[in-house]
Amino acid sequence: MKFDPAWEFIDNSKIVKEQFDELPSFHDAYIEKLAFHSGNCNDGGVIQPSLLVVLDLPVRERSGASYEFLYYVQLELELSGIIKASLRDFTYDNCLYFLNISRKEDSGLLTVKMDSSTNGDSFECEVKCTSVTVQSCKKKD
């Protein structure tokens, strides 16, 4: 199984590999939660800002010319050491068109982009951070 090279730099990504035969596309994944944490750097601490992203990814099986829905897998990602984050036009439409994680070679920073782009009220989220960790990836009951 070949995963996107950016996933080599994502902590604990092996549990995503265990759950899926190939890297999920994230297309049609539902955002259950985006939770920003401001950290404690303003108080002299060392905890940098972070973002918890909780997604429900549909798992489907090919059935002739179409796909049959089987179940959801819930994926929790923590984006740590946020350098910059932007969130535009967040609405009730929480179904992803894409999620992309890339790594900048010269700085090692990761860029995480999410976009719904499913209608005129789409949202975009882009986060530049120092690390991404898979907190959990399991079949949702």
pLDDT tens series, the chain, 141 aa: 455 665 778 899 888 888 887 778 788 899 999 999 988 777 777 788 999 999 999 988 888 888 888 999 999 999 999 999 999 887 776 788 888 888 888 888 999 999 886 666 678 899 999 999 999 999 987
For 70, counting Cβ atoms within 10 Å of its Cβ (0-12 exposed, 13-18 middle, 19+ buried), the class is: exposed
pLDDT of the residue at 2: 54
pLDDT of the residue at 84: 94
Q: How far apart are CA 34 and CA 53, in angstroms?
A: 5
Q: How far apart are CA 71 and CA 58, in angstroms?
A: 6
Q: How far apart are CA 126 and CA 140, in angstroms?
A: 26
Q: How far apart are CA 47 and CA 79, in angstroms?
A: 12
pLDDT of the residue at 118: 63
pLDDT of the residue at 94: 78
* H or E, element range at 1: none
Q: Are 53 and 77 in contact, with CB atoms under 8 Å apart?
A: yes
pLDDT of the residue at 1: 45
